[in-house]
Structure 1
Amino acid sequence: MNEFMMLFRHTPNPDFKMSPEQMQENIKYWQDWIGSIAAQGKFVATNQLSFEGKTLKPNNIVTDGPYAEVKEIIGGYVICKAENLDEALKLAQGCPILNIGGHVEVRSFMKIN
């Protein structure tokens, strides 16, 4: 079994505000989707990324924000187990980020010896 990372990308909309009910519904959707991966024994880890950060560039140049030069952000990730990329893509189907116009980038890990 191989490990894959699903990166959740979207373009933030500062004008969009969820009601408390919508927030709870959204949280449940994420929990159910991640729970379905866990129920198959394919869940490894997940986390949501904060909006705070810095980027280190060559020559020790530091910029504010992890996305200072792009419109799209990575909001979080899931690490899962799958036999191959196609199976990992199947696990990504139903990801809540897809409902708000975002997308899921699925990447395998390179083995470093």
Structure 2
Amino acid sequence: MKEFLLIFRRDFVNKEEQPSPEQIQKMMKPWQDWMGSLAAQNKLASSGNRLASDGRVVKSDKIVTDGPYVEIKEAVGGYIVVKANDLDEAAELAKGCPVLNIGGNVEVRGLVGMD
């Protein structure tokens, strides 16, 4: 099996789109269920992490700016690594991601070893 990175994105700039603390708490169960299902299928390679909302972007000219991705509204909120036979299977696994229920999207990328 190969490993694939699932990157979770959604609108983090628009104040109206931000969930309340109660909504965030309610969203935890679907995430736990989905990731538990992946683990039960032996498809979860790494549980990943949520990402902090602040960060820095280092550009090719070595200039450091506030970030991440200050020029776009959509931001990466987290990631996991899954195991699948191919990109299509990994995309099928991503279809169960709860971020899709709140207008987000999942980028699916194959991981390539450095050797």
Output the TM-score relative to the length of structure 2: 0.90
User: How big is the alpha-carbon RMSD for the aligned residues of Structure 1 and Structure 2?
Assistant: 1.3
State the Cα distance separating 1:110 from its structure 2 match.
2.1
Aligned residues: 112
When structure 1 is superposed on structure 2, of 51-60 and 7-16 the one drifting more is 7-16
* 1-structure distance, mates of 2:62, 2:19: 37
Shift, 1:14, TM fit: 1.4
**Separation (CA, whole Å) in 2 of partners of 1:74 and 1:23:** 16
Give the Cα–Cα distance (whole angstroms) in 2 for the partners of residues 19 and 77 of structure 1. Answer: 21
In structure 1, what is the Cα distance between the partners aligned to 2:69 and 2:26?
28
Query: Relative to 1, partners in 2 of residues 1:19 and 1:59: Cα closer, same or farther, differing over 3 Å?
Result: closer
What residue in structure 2 maps to residue 30 of structure 1? Answer: 31
- Any residues of structure 2 matched to 1:66-85 within 5 Å, and which? 66-85=68-87
Query: Unaligned regions of 5+ residues in structure 2, if any?
Result: none
Task: Work out whether 1:9 is the aligned partner of 2:9.
Answer: yes
Counterparts of 1:54 and 1:24, CA distance in 2: 28
**1:112, CA displacement in angstroms?**
2.6
SS of residue paired to 2:79: strand
Is residue 112 of structure 2 the alignment partner of residue 110 of structure 1? yes
Following the alignment from structure 1 to structure 2, what is the Cα–Cα distance between the partners of residues 97 and 52? Answer: 20
Note the alpha carbon deviations across 1:19-75, whole angstroms, 9 max, x for none.
52x322201111111111011011112111110110100121000011211111011
Identity of aligned residues (%): 50
TM-score normalised by structure 1 residue count:
0.91
Cα distance in 2 for residues equivalent to 1:107 and 1:41: 19
Map of 2:95 onto structure 1? 93
